[in-house]
Amino acid sequence: MSLQISAAARDALQQWLDAEQALKSAAPNTRAAYGADLRSFIAFMTQYRGAPQGLGALADLGITEMRAWMAHVRGNGASARTLSRKLSAVKTFYRWLAEREGFEPTAVLSTRTPKFQKKLPRPLSVDAARDMIETVEVTAIDSWVGARDAAVITLLWGCGLRISEALGLTGRALPLEETLRILGKGGKERLVPVLPVARQAVQSYARLCPFLVEPDGPLFRGVRGGALTPRSIQLVTAHARLQLGLPSSATPHAMRHSFATHLLAAGGDLRAIQDLLGHASLSTTQTYTAVDTDRLMEVYQASHPKAG
């Protein structure tokens, strides 16, 4: 589809992506998603209008074309959430393009974002989180594999790491100290406190690991010695939750959600939790206040003598 995009549009798109990288430190995956969304959008307009869309044609889009594109995206099975993300990318590009080319992007910017119900994270209880760690350790095919899986999941729950951040650690992190420097989304660094239980879990794994853990090599290894993949941890977690009778929402990422919710329930400051999680926006972290409120209301409804 990229062949249907005019050279001028392709160059403008690349310049915008470069600007996003330079000004906002957009992560490579984010830039790739933006690029794919915009190339697909411009290619659709090319087919819809029956001609290559140069900058002049792109500046002349109306609400009819925008509605046709949105119907096309939904018709291909995209959810309202996915369409919302794609529309956000289109609007961001158009703001930049309109300022550069001097046109009014009203039709694009006034296009309404589709409504969707925001899914709240589903954290595990403290006991369920502990059971998850114990289960992945004792049911593994080998003791070192069990120690490895337990160490990874302990880092997700005990430090609030993303799975990509935990698996991105190298041997240089050993031995873990009281704080861990994490390079998160967008290349942003943050310092994360490491609980003794997490340090012990990682040390136990390192002691049992049959492969040489080199400073610049991956800390967590697969059974054949290569870097451990997120998919491996997702499968291990899925197997453990089936054994424990936990819902399908009990994923590796749910352990990170649980970290935030348990800290909040213990009186943690929301902005401090934002820093620990590496969220760019406080509104992302504030999702956990809703989770915690729901949990408190469940307790209230179950235990208050006048409830119900």
Compute the distance between CA of residue 21 and CA of residue 156 in angstroms, rounded to an integer. Answer: 28
Asked if the bond preceding 175 is cis, omega within 30° of 0, the reply is yes
Rg value, the chain, Cα: 23
Q: Which residues are catalytic?
A: 162, 185, 253, 256, 279, 288
245: left (phi > 0), else alpha (psi -120 to 50), else beta?
A: left
DSSP states of 156-193 as a string?
Answer: HHHH---HHHHHT-BGGGPSP-SEEEEE-GGG-EEEEE
CA 69 to chain centre: 26
Enumerate long-range contacts of 40-43, CB under 8 Å, 24 or more apart: 40/1, 40/86, 41/69, 41/86, 41/89, 41/90, 42/4, 42/5, 42/9, 42/13, 43/1, 43/2, 43/4, 43/5
